[in-house]
A and B are shown apart, each in its own frame.
Chain A
């Protein structure tokens, strides 16, 4: 079992719709969870992080965390063509020691169609 799993997609949504991206992780001791966006040919950029169960909102983005289910998701409201990218889920790999090493999923490719 991979440590961080994501559906590779592509996930295709029409412009203006809500895009829902999902991620599961195997290490129950993980404490920090991150979403990165990566445009084709570019390096990843951080868009959200979440530590506590529940929802965290930032503009059109909402991160959701459920530690009991070992599940983290990213919702993008009012999706725009410029949101088309690969979204990488990352989890701190240190378990209870909470080191800085992040373990990344394979990424989900999102396509927003005008």
Chain B
């Protein structure tokens, strides 16, 4: 696609429910990243996929968070048993290789846990 596409753009969920966030990277981009941005804060790294290599999951805050990626295409970030502190904008980005020229972000999913 022309850009990184994320869905849904907004999600309101009840505490304790599971949510799935989707990211469709730019076609041909082998690297895909998930970040979280709480209100008024910087970007917090969550997970990084590069081609067929094992993902770098070092930023996932708890075992309630998981992510999958099928080949070099779509990725899904799943948050189980959501908590209020999970409320944030979840940003996905992609890059052609190892991000020597930076990455392109999607428009994000704003998650609100009530």
Q: Which residues of A contact B (CB under 8 A)?
A: 32, 34, 36, 42-46, 49, 88, 90, 92-93, 98-107
What mask results when residues 73 to 103 of chain B are scored 1 for a CB within 8 Å of chain A, else 0? 0000000000000000001000101111111
* CB within 8 Å for A100 and B45 given contacts A43-B105, A43-B106, A44-B105: no
Q: Which residues of B contact A (CB under 8 A)?
A: 31, 33, 35, 41-43, 45, 48, 50, 56, 91, 95, 97-108
B41 contacts A106, CB within 8 Å?
Answer: yes
The distance in angstroms between the C-alpha atoms of A43 and B100, with both chains bound, is: 20
Please give, as numbers and ranges, the residues of chain B lying within 8 Å of A43 by CB-CB distance: 91, 105-108
Please give, as numbers and ranges, the residues of chain B lying within 8 Å of A88 by CB-CB distance: 42-43
* CB within 8 Å for A93 and B42 given contacts A43-B106, A98-B98, A99-B56: no
* CB within 8 Å for A104 and B42 given contacts A45-B105, A46-B103, A99-B98: yes
Residue of A nearest to B91 (CB): A43
* CB within 8 Å for A100 and B95 given contacts A44-B105, A88-B43, A106-B41: yes
Please give, as numbers and ranges, the residues of chain A lying within 8 Å of B97 by CB-CB distance: 100
Please give, as numbers and ranges, the residues of chain A lying within 8 Å of B31 by CB-CB distance: 100
Q: Which of A36, A49, A88, A101 has the most CB atoms of chain B within a 10 A radius of its CB?
A: A101
The distance in angstroms between the C-alpha atoms of A106 and B38, with both chains bound, is: 11
Please give, as numbers and ranges, the residues of chain B lying within 8 Å of A98 by CB-CB distance: 98
The distance in angstroms between the C-alpha atoms of A73 and B99, with both chains bound, is: 20
Please give, as numbers and ranges, the residues of chain B lying within 8 Å of A107 by CB-CB distance: 42
* CB within 8 Å for A34 and B102 given contacts A43-B91, A100-B48: yes
Question: 15 other contacts beyond A46-B101, A100-B99, with CB at 8 A cut-off?
Answer: A32-B100, A43-B106, A46-B102, A46-B103, A49-B101, A92-B99, A93-B45, A98-B98, A100-B50, A101-B33, A101-B45, A101-B56, A102-B99, A102-B103, A103-B45
Please give, as numbers and ranges, the residues of chain A lying within 8 Å of B105 by CB-CB distance: 43-45
Residue of B nearest to A107 (CB): B42
Residue of B nearest to A93 (CB): B45
26 contacts between A and B (CB under 8 A): A43-B91, A43-B107, A44-B91, A46-B104, A49-B101, A88-B43, A93-B45, A98-B98, A99-B48, A99-B50, A100-B31, A100-B48, A100-B97, A100-B99, A101-B45, A101-B48, A101-B99, A102-B45, A102-B103, A103-B45, A104-B43, A104-B45, A105-B42, A106-B41, A106-B42, A107-B42
